Amino acid sequence: MFRLYSFVLYVAAVLVSTAVQAQDLDEQSGAGQTAHAFTFEMPYGEPLALKDYAGKAVLVVNTATECGFSGQLAGLQKLHETYSDRGLLVLGVPSNDFGGQEPRAHGDIAKFCEAKYGAEFPLTAKTVVKGDRAHPFYLWAARELGPMARPYWNFHKYLVGPDGSIVAWFPTPVPPTAPDVTTAIEKVLPGS
């Protein structure tokens, strides 16, 4: 009887340990999460938590001021002007990951973007968006959508719905004001 009792305790301990390990792996991998689980750092160290935008649509775009696609900053500003009052947050995520095309320091990026493109939407601190050291949001997005949907260059766009799920993604060449982008935004705006 003692052996059977010991065996039952052993099996129970293994099952509990396995469940705890699986939960830890889920937490590390982002399984079951939404975009609302992630926080970006702003240029001067303050946090920008996506959970603070629950109920709104968020367009997350990795940017670079020296990229050949940097003219898209003006298009992102146009989206900001058109849709921010209707519940869209345009969030620029400056990155130096592709071709070293973001040479500016954290605080200088937003000043440059505003001066050259009129960009008034929020820009985070410079952030890694590719590879194993990518920001957790980007690691999560790649897991959620698969390798084809991860950024392969600057100005890759993820559209996050009000519930925190990624509802669409758009590769670099698709301008922010393209009908595919604006139609997707309009479908997920609060009250649409």
Q: Which one, of 121, 91, 93, lies nearest residue 106 by Cα?
A: 93
Ramachandran area for residue 156 (φ above 0: left; ψ -120 to 50: alpha; else beta): beta
Known active-site residue 67 = yes
Q: Among the options 58, 67, 73, 141, which is catalytic?
A: 67
Do 180 and 170 contact (CB within 8 A), yes or no? yes
2 φ/ψ angles, rounded to the nearest 5 degrees = -60, -40
Q: How far apart are CA 76 and CA 126, in angstroms?
A: 18
Task: Give CA–CA dist 147/131, Å, rounded.
Answer: 11
Q: Active-site positions?
A: 67
